[in-house]
Structure 1
Amino acid sequence: MSDAPVPQVEQGWSSGYDRTLFRFLARRVPSRRVSLAGAGPVASITFDDVPESAARMGAPLLERKGLRGTFYVAAAWCGLQDQYWRVASRSQVRAVAEAGHEIGCHTARHVNVQSLSPRDLARECDRSRALLGEICGADPRHFCYPFGDVGLAQKRYLARRFVTCRSIYEHPNLGRVDPALLGAVGLFDATYRRERLLALVRQTVAARGWLILYTHDVSPDPTRIGTSPRLLEETLAVLADHGVPVLTLTDAARHHGLEPG
Protein backbone atom coordinates (compact mmCIF):
# COMPACT_ATOMS: atom_id res chain seq x y z
CA MET A 1 0.00 0.00 0.00
CA SER A 2 1.27 3.50 -0.83
CA ASP A 3 2.62 5.71 1.97
CA ALA A 4 1.05 8.77 0.34
CA PRO A 5 -1.48 10.57 2.56
CA VAL A 6 -5.11 9.68 1.98
CA PRO A 7 -7.22 12.69 0.92
CA GLN A 8 -9.70 13.84 3.53
CA VAL A 9 -13.29 12.82 2.93
CA GLU A 10 -16.52 13.58 4.76
CA GLN A 11 -16.98 11.25 7.69
CA GLY A 12 -19.96 10.70 9.95
CA TRP A 13 -23.71 11.23 9.74
CA SER A 14 -24.87 14.20 7.66
CA SER A 15 -26.42 17.22 9.33
CA GLY A 16 -28.35 20.16 7.96
CA TYR A 17 -31.84 20.61 6.58
CA ASP A 18 -31.02 19.61 3.00
CA ARG A 19 -29.25 16.38 4.02
CA THR A 20 -32.11 15.47 6.35
CA LEU A 21 -34.63 16.06 3.57
CA PHE A 22 -32.73 13.96 1.02
CA ARG A 23 -32.30 11.18 3.57
CA PHE A 24 -36.07 11.24 4.20
CA LEU A 25 -36.77 11.10 0.46
CA ALA A 26 -34.35 8.21 0.01
CA ARG A 27 -36.34 6.24 2.56
CA ARG A 28 -39.75 7.20 1.18
CA VAL A 29 -39.16 7.06 -2.59
CA PRO A 30 -38.19 3.52 -3.62
CA SER A 31 -35.83 2.85 -6.50
CA ARG A 32 -38.17 -0.04 -7.26
CA ARG A 33 -40.28 -2.48 -5.32
CA VAL A 34 -39.61 -6.21 -5.49
CA SER A 35 -41.48 -9.00 -3.75
CA LEU A 36 -39.26 -11.47 -1.94
CA ALA A 37 -39.96 -14.70 -3.77
CA GLY A 38 -38.04 -17.33 -1.79
CA ALA A 39 -39.80 -20.45 -0.57
CA GLY A 40 -38.44 -19.90 2.94
CA PRO A 41 -36.63 -17.45 5.20
CA VAL A 42 -32.92 -16.69 4.98
CA ALA A 43 -30.40 -14.67 6.98
CA SER A 44 -27.08 -13.02 6.15
CA ILE A 45 -24.18 -12.11 8.43
CA THR A 46 -22.34 -9.00 7.27
CA PHE A 47 -19.26 -7.14 8.48
CA ASP A 48 -18.84 -3.41 7.83
CA ASP A 49 -15.44 -1.71 7.43
CA VAL A 50 -13.80 -5.11 8.09
CA PRO A 51 -11.58 -4.57 11.10
CA GLU A 52 -8.74 -7.07 11.16
CA SER A 53 -10.50 -8.91 14.01
CA ALA A 54 -13.47 -9.59 11.70
CA ALA A 55 -11.08 -11.24 9.25
CA ARG A 56 -9.05 -13.00 11.94
CA MET A 57 -11.90 -14.21 14.20
CA GLY A 58 -15.26 -13.63 12.49
CA ALA A 59 -14.55 -15.32 9.17
CA PRO A 60 -13.04 -18.52 10.67
CA LEU A 61 -15.93 -18.81 13.14
CA LEU A 62 -18.40 -18.87 10.24
CA GLU A 63 -16.21 -21.29 8.30
CA ARG A 64 -16.19 -23.79 11.17
CA LYS A 65 -19.99 -23.87 10.83
CA GLY A 66 -19.78 -24.33 7.06
CA LEU A 67 -21.10 -20.79 6.54
CA ARG A 68 -19.91 -17.71 4.70
CA GLY A 69 -20.52 -14.00 5.29
CA THR A 70 -20.42 -10.77 3.31
CA PHE A 71 -17.58 -8.36 4.12
CA TYR A 72 -18.08 -4.74 3.02
CA VAL A 73 -14.58 -3.42 2.38
CA ALA A 74 -13.47 0.22 2.04
CA ALA A 75 -10.46 -0.86 0.01
CA ALA A 76 -8.36 2.32 0.27
CA TRP A 77 -8.32 1.96 4.07
CA CYS A 78 -6.84 -1.56 4.15
CA GLY A 79 -4.19 -1.78 6.85
CA LEU A 80 -4.90 1.66 8.34
CA GLN A 81 -5.63 2.42 11.98
CA ASP A 82 -8.86 4.30 12.67
CA GLN A 83 -10.55 5.47 15.85
CA TYR A 84 -11.63 2.00 16.95
CA TRP A 85 -9.49 -0.64 15.28
CA ARG A 86 -6.95 -1.48 12.60
CA VAL A 87 -8.62 -2.23 9.29
CA ALA A 88 -7.90 -5.61 7.73
CA SER A 89 -4.83 -5.59 5.49
CA ARG A 90 -4.89 -6.43 1.82
CA SER A 91 -3.56 -9.91 2.55
CA GLN A 92 -6.29 -10.48 5.15
CA VAL A 93 -9.03 -9.36 2.75
CA ARG A 94 -7.54 -11.64 0.11
CA ALA A 95 -7.58 -14.56 2.55
CA VAL A 96 -11.23 -13.87 3.45
CA ALA A 97 -12.18 -13.90 -0.23
CA GLU A 98 -10.15 -17.06 -0.93
CA ALA A 99 -11.99 -18.79 1.94
CA GLY A 100 -15.24 -18.28 0.03
CA HIS A 101 -16.66 -15.22 1.75
CA GLU A 102 -18.24 -12.46 -0.32
CA ILE A 103 -16.61 -9.05 -0.71
CA GLY A 104 -18.97 -6.08 -0.97
CA CYS A 105 -18.38 -2.40 -1.77
CA HIS A 106 -18.23 0.15 1.05
CA THR A 107 -16.83 2.91 -1.21
CA ALA A 108 -13.06 3.13 -1.56
CA ARG A 109 -12.46 5.57 1.30
CA HIS A 110 -15.48 5.01 3.56
CA VAL A 111 -17.09 8.18 2.28
CA ASN A 112 -20.45 9.56 3.36
CA VAL A 113 -22.22 9.22 0.00
CA GLN A 114 -24.44 12.25 0.66
CA SER A 115 -21.29 14.37 0.37
CA LEU A 116 -20.70 13.16 -3.21
CA SER A 117 -22.32 14.14 -6.48
CA PRO A 118 -23.42 11.17 -8.60
CA ARG A 119 -20.33 11.73 -10.80
CA ASP A 120 -17.97 11.70 -7.82
CA LEU A 121 -19.80 8.71 -6.36
CA ALA A 122 -19.26 6.87 -9.65
CA ARG A 123 -15.54 7.64 -9.43
CA GLU A 124 -15.45 6.43 -5.84
CA CYS A 125 -17.11 3.16 -6.82
CA ASP A 126 -14.82 2.79 -9.84
CA ARG A 127 -11.81 3.20 -7.56
CA SER A 128 -13.24 0.65 -5.13
CA ARG A 129 -13.78 -1.83 -7.95
CA ALA A 130 -10.22 -1.36 -9.23
CA LEU A 131 -8.68 -1.74 -5.77
CA LEU A 132 -10.72 -4.81 -4.88
CA GLY A 133 -9.83 -6.31 -8.24
CA GLU A 134 -6.15 -5.85 -7.40
CA ILE A 135 -6.53 -7.21 -3.88
CA CYS A 136 -8.64 -10.30 -4.45
CA GLY A 137 -10.17 -10.27 -7.92
CA ALA A 138 -13.56 -9.19 -6.58
CA ASP A 139 -16.12 -7.26 -8.64
CA PRO A 140 -18.71 -6.43 -5.97
CA ARG A 141 -22.40 -6.56 -6.80
CA HIS A 142 -23.59 -5.48 -3.35
CA PHE A 143 -23.09 -2.14 -1.60
CA CYS A 144 -23.32 -0.89 1.97
CA TYR A 145 -23.76 2.80 2.84
CA PRO A 146 -20.90 4.07 5.03
CA PHE A 147 -22.31 5.44 8.30
CA GLY A 148 -25.69 4.25 7.01
CA ASP A 149 -26.23 7.68 5.41
CA VAL A 150 -27.92 8.00 2.02
CA GLY A 151 -29.52 10.67 -0.17
CA LEU A 152 -32.08 10.21 -2.92
CA ALA A 153 -29.79 11.03 -5.87
CA GLN A 154 -27.03 8.79 -4.56
CA LYS A 155 -29.44 5.92 -3.95
CA ARG A 156 -30.79 6.18 -7.48
CA TYR A 157 -27.28 5.96 -8.92
CA LEU A 158 -26.28 3.03 -6.71
CA ALA A 159 -29.52 1.20 -7.51
CA ARG A 160 -28.45 1.11 -11.15
CA ARG A 161 -24.95 -0.09 -10.31
CA PHE A 162 -25.50 -2.74 -7.61
CA VAL A 163 -27.95 -5.58 -7.09
CA THR A 164 -28.58 -4.47 -3.49
CA CYS A 165 -27.59 -1.61 -1.20
CA ARG A 166 -27.70 -2.24 2.53
CA SER A 167 -28.69 0.36 5.10
CA ILE A 168 -28.56 0.40 8.90
CA TYR A 169 -32.31 0.93 9.24
CA GLU A 170 -33.19 -1.75 11.76
CA HIS A 171 -35.82 -4.11 10.42
CA PRO A 172 -35.97 -7.47 8.69
CA ASN A 173 -36.79 -7.44 5.00
CA LEU A 174 -40.31 -8.77 4.51
CA GLY A 175 -42.76 -8.84 1.63
CA ARG A 176 -42.05 -6.08 -0.90
CA VAL A 177 -38.65 -4.42 -0.50
CA ASP A 178 -36.53 -1.69 -2.06
CA PRO A 179 -33.31 -3.50 -3.07
CA ALA A 180 -31.43 -0.18 -2.91
CA LEU A 181 -32.27 0.28 0.78
CA LEU A 182 -32.40 -3.10 2.49
CA GLY A 183 -32.85 -3.09 6.24
CA ALA A 184 -30.29 -4.58 8.62
CA VAL A 185 -30.11 -5.17 12.36
CA GLY A 186 -26.99 -4.42 14.37
CA LEU A 187 -25.48 -7.37 16.21
CA PHE A 188 -23.62 -5.71 19.07
CA ASP A 189 -22.88 -7.03 22.56
CA ALA A 190 -23.50 -3.54 23.94
CA THR A 191 -27.16 -3.54 22.90
CA TYR A 192 -27.98 -7.23 22.49
CA ARG A 193 -31.21 -8.66 23.91
CA ARG A 194 -31.96 -12.31 23.23
CA GLU A 195 -35.71 -11.69 23.32
CA ARG A 196 -35.41 -9.16 20.50
CA LEU A 197 -33.31 -11.52 18.37
CA LEU A 198 -35.85 -14.30 18.87
CA ALA A 199 -38.69 -11.97 17.88
CA LEU A 200 -36.86 -10.85 14.73
CA VAL A 201 -36.07 -14.41 13.70
CA ARG A 202 -39.65 -15.56 14.28
CA GLN A 203 -40.98 -12.59 12.31
CA THR A 204 -38.62 -13.46 9.44
CA VAL A 205 -39.68 -17.11 9.51
CA ALA A 206 -43.39 -16.26 9.52
CA ALA A 207 -43.05 -13.95 6.51
CA ARG A 208 -40.42 -16.06 4.68
CA GLY A 209 -38.27 -12.95 4.70
CA TRP A 210 -34.61 -11.99 4.83
CA LEU A 211 -32.90 -11.00 8.06
CA ILE A 212 -29.58 -9.21 7.54
CA LEU A 213 -27.41 -8.83 10.62
CA TYR A 214 -24.37 -6.57 10.67
CA THR A 215 -21.44 -5.88 12.93
CA HIS A 216 -17.88 -4.55 12.79
CA ASP A 217 -15.13 -5.98 15.02
CA VAL A 218 -15.23 -9.48 16.48
CA SER A 219 -13.48 -9.73 19.82
CA PRO A 220 -13.94 -11.11 23.34
CA ASP A 221 -13.98 -7.43 24.37
CA PRO A 222 -15.67 -5.77 21.38
CA THR A 223 -16.30 -2.09 20.78
CA ARG A 224 -19.82 -0.74 21.27
CA ILE A 225 -20.51 -1.60 17.59
CA GLY A 226 -18.80 -4.96 17.65
CA THR A 227 -19.60 -8.56 18.48
CA SER A 228 -18.01 -11.16 20.70
CA PRO A 229 -17.43 -14.70 19.40
CA ARG A 230 -19.88 -15.86 22.08
CA LEU A 231 -22.67 -13.66 20.70
CA LEU A 232 -21.95 -14.63 17.10
CA GLU A 233 -22.08 -18.32 18.09
CA GLU A 234 -25.36 -17.77 19.97
CA THR A 235 -26.89 -15.96 16.99
CA LEU A 236 -25.95 -18.75 14.59
CA ALA A 237 -27.46 -21.27 17.01
CA VAL A 238 -30.75 -19.33 17.17
CA LEU A 239 -30.93 -19.19 13.37
CA ALA A 240 -30.17 -22.91 13.09
CA ASP A 241 -32.78 -23.77 15.73
CA HIS A 242 -35.41 -21.93 13.65
CA GLY A 243 -34.34 -23.53 10.37
CA VAL A 244 -33.02 -20.28 8.87
CA PRO A 245 -30.07 -20.82 6.51
CA VAL A 246 -27.25 -18.25 6.55
CA LEU A 247 -26.35 -17.09 3.04
CA THR A 248 -24.15 -14.43 1.51
CA LEU A 249 -25.88 -11.38 0.00
CA THR A 250 -25.52 -12.85 -3.48
CA ASP A 251 -27.00 -16.22 -2.54
CA ALA A 252 -29.79 -14.65 -0.48
CA ALA A 253 -30.64 -12.24 -3.32
CA ARG A 254 -30.83 -15.18 -5.72
CA HIS A 255 -32.98 -17.13 -3.28
CA HIS A 256 -35.48 -14.28 -3.15
CA GLY A 257 -35.41 -13.50 -6.88
CA LEU A 258 -33.52 -10.20 -6.69
CA GLU A 259 -30.66 -11.51 -8.78
CA PRO A 260 -30.63 -14.16 -11.54
CA GLY A 261 -29.22 -17.51 -10.52
Structure 2
Amino acid sequence: MTDGAAPSIEQGWSTGFDRLLSRFLARCVPARQVLLTGPGPVASITFDDVSDSAATVGAPLLERDGLRGTFYVAAEWCGLQDRYWRVAGRSEIRAIAQAGHEIGCHTARHVNVQSLALRDLARECDRSRDLLGEICDVDPRHFCYPFGDIGLAQKRYLASRFVTCRSIYERLNVGQVDPALLGAVGLFDASYRRERLLALVRRTVATRGWLILYTHDVSPDPTRIGTSPRLLAEALAVLADHGVPVLTMSEAARHHGLPAA
Protein backbone atom coordinates (compact mmCIF):
# COMPACT_ATOMS: atom_id res chain seq x y z
CA MET A 1 0.00 0.00 0.00
CA THR A 2 1.01 3.61 -0.51
CA ASP A 3 1.12 6.43 2.06
CA GLY A 4 -1.92 6.44 4.30
CA ALA A 5 -2.25 2.66 4.22
CA ALA A 6 -3.14 0.47 7.16
CA PRO A 7 -0.40 -0.42 9.68
CA SER A 8 2.14 -3.03 8.65
CA ILE A 9 0.67 -6.52 8.95
CA GLU A 10 1.59 -9.97 7.71
CA GLN A 11 1.02 -10.25 3.99
CA GLY A 12 1.21 -13.14 1.59
CA TRP A 13 1.40 -16.92 1.98
CA SER A 14 2.74 -18.27 5.28
CA THR A 15 5.98 -20.26 5.45
CA GLY A 16 7.62 -22.29 8.18
CA PHE A 17 6.93 -25.86 9.33
CA ASP A 18 4.33 -24.90 11.95
CA ARG A 19 2.35 -22.89 9.40
CA LEU A 20 2.58 -25.66 6.81
CA LEU A 21 1.32 -28.19 9.36
CA SER A 22 -1.55 -25.94 10.45
CA ARG A 23 -2.55 -25.37 6.83
CA PHE A 24 -2.41 -29.11 6.11
CA LEU A 25 -4.56 -29.92 9.13
CA ALA A 26 -7.03 -27.17 8.24
CA ARG A 27 -7.50 -28.73 4.82
CA CYS A 28 -7.88 -32.28 6.19
CA VAL A 29 -9.88 -31.79 9.40
CA PRO A 30 -13.35 -30.32 8.77
CA ALA A 31 -14.76 -27.77 11.17
CA ARG A 32 -18.10 -29.39 10.42
CA GLN A 33 -19.52 -31.42 7.57
CA VAL A 34 -22.73 -30.58 5.79
CA LEU A 35 -24.46 -32.35 2.94
CA LEU A 36 -25.50 -30.02 0.13
CA THR A 37 -29.20 -30.71 -0.27
CA GLY A 38 -30.34 -28.19 -2.86
CA PRO A 39 -32.75 -29.42 -5.56
CA GLY A 40 -30.53 -28.14 -8.36
CA PRO A 41 -27.16 -26.65 -9.24
CA VAL A 42 -26.18 -23.09 -8.35
CA ALA A 43 -23.24 -20.76 -8.95
CA SER A 44 -21.91 -17.71 -7.13
CA ILE A 45 -19.77 -14.90 -8.52
CA THR A 46 -17.45 -13.44 -5.87
CA PHE A 47 -14.97 -10.58 -5.83
CA ASP A 48 -12.00 -10.44 -3.46
CA ASP A 49 -10.52 -7.16 -2.14
CA VAL A 50 -13.09 -5.22 -4.20
CA SER A 51 -11.10 -2.99 -6.51
CA ASP A 52 -12.87 0.10 -7.80
CA SER A 53 -13.39 -1.66 -11.14
CA ALA A 54 -15.11 -4.61 -9.45
CA ALA A 55 -17.59 -2.14 -7.97
CA THR A 56 -18.03 0.13 -10.98
CA VAL A 57 -17.71 -2.40 -13.84
CA GLY A 58 -18.27 -5.87 -12.39
CA ALA A 59 -21.37 -5.09 -10.32
CA PRO A 60 -23.26 -3.30 -13.13
CA LEU A 61 -22.42 -6.12 -15.52
CA LEU A 62 -24.11 -8.58 -13.17
CA GLU A 63 -27.04 -6.22 -12.65
CA ARG A 64 -27.56 -6.01 -16.41
CA ASP A 65 -28.65 -9.66 -16.27
CA GLY A 66 -30.62 -9.21 -13.06
CA LEU A 67 -27.91 -10.94 -11.02
CA ARG A 68 -26.04 -10.11 -7.82
CA GLY A 69 -22.60 -11.08 -6.53
CA THR A 70 -20.78 -11.32 -3.22
CA PHE A 71 -18.03 -8.76 -2.59
CA TYR A 72 -15.47 -9.55 0.13
CA VAL A 73 -14.35 -6.22 1.59
CA ALA A 74 -11.26 -5.44 3.70
CA ALA A 75 -12.97 -2.41 5.20
CA GLU A 76 -9.94 -0.49 6.48
CA TRP A 77 -8.51 -0.45 2.95
CA CYS A 78 -11.46 1.31 1.33
CA GLY A 79 -10.23 4.06 -0.98
CA LEU A 80 -6.53 3.17 -0.73
CA GLN A 81 -4.22 2.56 -3.66
CA ASP A 82 -2.34 -0.74 -3.71
CA ARG A 83 0.17 -2.16 -6.16
CA TYR A 84 -2.42 -3.21 -8.72
CA TRP A 85 -5.55 -1.11 -8.29
CA ARG A 86 -7.40 1.42 -6.23
CA VAL A 87 -9.60 -0.26 -3.65
CA ALA A 88 -13.26 0.75 -3.87
CA GLY A 89 -14.10 3.62 -1.53
CA ARG A 90 -16.83 3.75 1.06
CA SER A 91 -19.32 5.36 -1.30
CA GLU A 92 -18.74 2.64 -3.91
CA ILE A 93 -19.18 -0.14 -1.34
CA ARG A 94 -22.34 1.55 -0.10
CA ALA A 95 -23.65 1.79 -3.68
CA ILE A 96 -23.19 -1.90 -4.48
CA ALA A 97 -24.79 -2.89 -1.17
CA GLN A 98 -27.76 -0.66 -1.93
CA ALA A 99 -28.01 -2.27 -5.37
CA GLY A 100 -28.57 -5.63 -3.69
CA HIS A 101 -25.11 -7.15 -3.84
CA GLU A 102 -23.85 -9.03 -0.79
CA ILE A 103 -20.96 -7.69 1.30
CA GLY A 104 -18.68 -10.27 2.92
CA CYS A 105 -15.80 -10.07 5.39
CA HIS A 106 -12.18 -10.18 4.16
CA THR A 107 -10.84 -9.12 7.58
CA ALA A 108 -10.53 -5.40 8.29
CA ARG A 109 -6.95 -5.04 7.03
CA HIS A 110 -6.56 -7.95 4.58
CA VAL A 111 -4.39 -9.79 7.09
CA ASN A 112 -3.20 -13.38 6.82
CA VAL A 113 -5.33 -15.16 9.43
CA GLN A 114 -2.56 -17.66 10.17
CA SER A 115 -0.55 -14.80 11.66
CA LEU A 116 -3.26 -13.96 14.20
CA ALA A 117 -3.90 -15.35 17.65
CA LEU A 118 -7.60 -16.11 18.08
CA ARG A 119 -8.20 -13.02 20.24
CA ASP A 120 -6.63 -10.88 17.50
CA LEU A 121 -8.64 -12.63 14.81
CA ALA A 122 -11.78 -11.89 16.81
CA ARG A 123 -10.78 -8.22 17.03
CA GLU A 124 -10.11 -8.16 13.28
CA CYS A 125 -13.58 -9.54 12.55
CA ASP A 126 -15.19 -7.20 15.09
CA ARG A 127 -13.46 -4.24 13.44
CA SER A 128 -14.66 -5.40 10.01
CA ARG A 129 -18.23 -5.75 11.29
CA ASP A 130 -18.17 -2.28 12.88
CA LEU A 131 -16.74 -0.59 9.77
CA LEU A 132 -19.11 -2.34 7.38
CA GLY A 133 -21.96 -1.39 9.67
CA GLU A 134 -20.89 2.26 9.34
CA ILE A 135 -20.38 2.05 5.59
CA CYS A 136 -23.45 0.13 4.45
CA ASP A 137 -25.33 -1.10 7.53
CA VAL A 138 -24.45 -4.77 7.11
CA ASP A 139 -23.22 -7.47 9.48
CA PRO A 140 -21.37 -9.86 7.15
CA ARG A 141 -22.22 -13.55 7.47
CA HIS A 142 -19.73 -14.85 4.91
CA PHE A 143 -15.92 -14.78 5.04
CA CYS A 144 -13.10 -15.13 2.53
CA TYR A 145 -9.51 -15.96 3.56
CA PRO A 146 -7.07 -13.20 2.53
CA PHE A 147 -4.36 -14.70 0.31
CA GLY A 148 -6.32 -17.96 0.60
CA ASP A 149 -4.18 -18.93 3.61
CA ILE A 150 -5.71 -20.90 6.46
CA GLY A 151 -4.86 -22.36 9.86
CA LEU A 152 -6.70 -25.05 11.80
CA ALA A 153 -7.47 -23.03 14.94
CA GLN A 154 -8.38 -19.95 12.91
CA LYS A 155 -10.68 -21.95 10.64
CA ARG A 156 -12.49 -23.42 13.63
CA TYR A 157 -13.02 -19.96 15.10
CA LEU A 158 -14.28 -18.54 11.81
CA ALA A 159 -16.62 -21.53 11.41
CA SER A 160 -18.29 -20.52 14.68
CA ARG A 161 -18.77 -16.97 13.46
CA PHE A 162 -19.67 -17.17 9.76
CA VAL A 163 -22.08 -19.26 7.72
CA THR A 164 -19.37 -19.95 5.11
CA CYS A 165 -15.68 -19.30 4.64
CA ARG A 166 -14.44 -19.33 1.06
CA SER A 167 -10.99 -20.53 0.09
CA ILE A 168 -9.02 -20.36 -3.15
CA TYR A 169 -8.65 -24.14 -3.38
CA GLU A 170 -9.89 -24.91 -6.87
CA ARG A 171 -12.72 -27.39 -6.62
CA LEU A 172 -16.44 -27.71 -7.12
CA ASN A 173 -18.52 -27.97 -3.95
CA VAL A 174 -20.55 -31.16 -4.12
CA GLY A 175 -21.92 -33.69 -1.64
CA GLN A 176 -20.40 -33.43 1.84
CA VAL A 177 -18.63 -30.09 2.29
CA ASP A 178 -16.92 -28.15 5.06
CA PRO A 179 -18.67 -24.75 5.03
CA ALA A 180 -15.55 -23.25 6.64
CA LEU A 181 -13.45 -24.20 3.60
CA LEU A 182 -15.55 -23.97 0.46
CA GLY A 183 -13.74 -24.43 -2.82
CA ALA A 184 -13.66 -21.76 -5.52
CA VAL A 185 -12.35 -21.44 -9.06
CA GLY A 186 -10.48 -18.39 -10.29
CA LEU A 187 -12.02 -16.56 -13.24
CA PHE A 188 -8.93 -14.90 -14.70
CA ASP A 189 -8.20 -13.96 -18.31
CA ALA A 190 -4.57 -14.98 -17.76
CA SER A 191 -5.48 -18.64 -17.17
CA TYR A 192 -8.95 -19.01 -18.66
CA ARG A 193 -9.83 -22.04 -20.79
CA ARG A 194 -13.38 -22.25 -22.07
CA GLU A 195 -13.29 -26.06 -22.17
CA ARG A 196 -12.50 -26.17 -18.45
CA LEU A 197 -15.34 -23.82 -17.57
CA LEU A 198 -17.76 -25.85 -19.68
CA ALA A 199 -16.65 -29.05 -17.95
CA LEU A 200 -17.08 -27.46 -14.50
CA VAL A 201 -20.53 -26.16 -15.30
CA ARG A 202 -21.64 -29.49 -16.74
CA ARG A 203 -20.39 -31.28 -13.63
CA THR A 204 -22.19 -28.73 -11.46
CA VAL A 205 -25.41 -29.58 -13.28
CA ALA A 206 -24.84 -33.33 -13.08
CA THR A 207 -24.09 -33.30 -9.33
CA ARG A 208 -26.47 -30.49 -8.31
CA GLY A 209 -23.39 -28.82 -6.89
CA TRP A 210 -22.30 -25.29 -6.02
CA LEU A 211 -19.76 -23.64 -8.31
CA ILE A 212 -18.11 -20.57 -6.81
CA LEU A 213 -16.14 -18.36 -9.17
CA TYR A 214 -13.90 -15.60 -7.88
CA THR A 215 -11.90 -12.74 -9.30
CA HIS A 216 -10.49 -9.34 -8.35
CA ASP A 217 -10.43 -6.42 -10.81
CA VAL A 218 -12.71 -6.20 -13.84
CA SER A 219 -10.99 -4.35 -16.65
CA PRO A 220 -10.36 -4.57 -20.41
CA ASP A 221 -6.69 -5.07 -19.43
CA PRO A 222 -7.00 -7.00 -16.14
CA THR A 223 -4.25 -8.04 -13.79
CA ARG A 224 -3.20 -11.70 -13.77
CA ILE A 225 -5.86 -12.30 -11.08
CA GLY A 226 -8.52 -10.20 -12.75
CA THR A 227 -11.23 -10.58 -15.34
CA SER A 228 -12.17 -8.65 -18.44
CA PRO A 229 -15.81 -7.61 -18.92
CA ARG A 230 -15.85 -9.90 -21.95
CA LEU A 231 -14.83 -12.94 -19.91
CA LEU A 232 -17.25 -12.19 -17.07
CA ALA A 233 -20.07 -11.86 -19.60
CA GLU A 234 -19.02 -15.11 -21.27
CA ALA A 235 -19.03 -16.97 -17.94
CA LEU A 236 -22.51 -15.65 -17.14
CA ALA A 237 -23.71 -16.74 -20.57
CA VAL A 238 -22.32 -20.27 -20.11
CA LEU A 239 -24.09 -20.56 -16.75
CA ALA A 240 -27.35 -19.28 -18.24
CA ASP A 241 -27.10 -21.64 -21.21
CA HIS A 242 -26.84 -24.59 -18.80
CA GLY A 243 -29.67 -23.39 -16.57
CA VAL A 244 -27.45 -22.69 -13.55
CA PRO A 245 -28.80 -19.77 -11.49
CA VAL A 246 -26.31 -17.25 -10.13
CA LEU A 247 -26.94 -16.59 -6.43
CA THR A 248 -25.14 -14.68 -3.70
CA MET A 249 -23.32 -16.74 -1.09
CA SER A 250 -26.22 -16.28 1.33
CA GLU A 251 -28.79 -17.33 -1.25
CA ALA A 252 -26.74 -20.35 -2.34
CA ALA A 253 -26.13 -21.41 1.26
CA ARG A 254 -29.88 -21.33 1.94
CA HIS A 255 -30.55 -23.17 -1.32
CA HIS A 256 -28.25 -25.99 -0.23
CA GLY A 257 -29.50 -26.14 3.35
CA LEU A 258 -26.39 -24.87 5.13
CA PRO A 259 -27.13 -24.10 8.77
CA ALA A 260 -26.24 -20.74 10.29
CA ALA A 261 -22.93 -20.53 12.12
With structure 1 as the length reference, what TM-score do the two structures score?
0.98
SS at match of 1:138: coil
Aligned to 2:215: 215
Distance 1:183 1:245 in 2: 18
Residue in 1 aligned with 2:39? 39
For residues 80-99 of structure 1, the aligned pairs below 5 Å read 80-99=80-99
Shift of 1:144: 0.1
- Deviations, residues 99-156 of structure 1 (Å, cap 9, x unaligned): 0000000000000000001110000000000000000001000000000000000000
Query: Is there any run of 5+ residues in structure 2 with no aligned partner, and where?
Result: none
Contact 2:43–2:244 at 8 Å: present in 1 too? Answer: yes
1:20 and 1:205 map into 2 onto residues whose CA distance is 35
Q: Does structure 1 conserve the Cα–Cα contact (< 8 Å) formed by 2:45 and 2:248?
A: yes
Question: Following the alignment from structure 2 to structure 1, what is the Cα–Cα distance between the partners of residues 100 and 4?
Answer: 32
How high is the sequence identity, in percent, across the aligned residues? Answer: 81
- 1:15 corresponds to which letter in structure 2? T
Quote the residue 1:29 is aligned against.
29
Structure 2 Cα separation of the partners of residues 56 and 100 of structure 1 = 14
In 1, Cα distance between the equivalents of 2:82 and 2:14? 19
Q: Which residue is 1:66 aligned to?
A: 66
CA distance in 2, matches of 1:5, 1:14: 22
User: CA–CA distance in 2 between the matches of 1:28 and 1:67?
Assistant: 34
Tell me if structure 1 keeps the 8 A contact 2:4–2:80: no
Q: Distance in 2 between matches of 1:133 and 1:4?
A: 22
**Which residue is equivalent to 1:187?**
187
CA contact (8 A) 2:36 2:176 kept: yes
Q: Structure 1 unaligned runs (5+)?
A: none
Q: Which 4+ runs in 1 deviate beyond 2 A?
A: 3-6
Paired AA for residue 96 in structure 2: V
Structure 1 distance, partners of 2:77, 2:9, is 12
CA distance in 2, matches of 1:217, 1:45: 13
Determine the structure 2 residue equivalent to 1:56: 56
Aligned: 1:101 with 2:101: yes
Taking structure 2 as the reference length, the TM-score comes to 0.98
Asked if 1:197 is matched to 2:197, the reply is: yes
User: Does 1:165 find its partner at 2:165?
Assistant: yes
For the 8 Å contact 1:250–1:259, the answer to whether it is kept is: no
SS in 2 for 1:71: strand
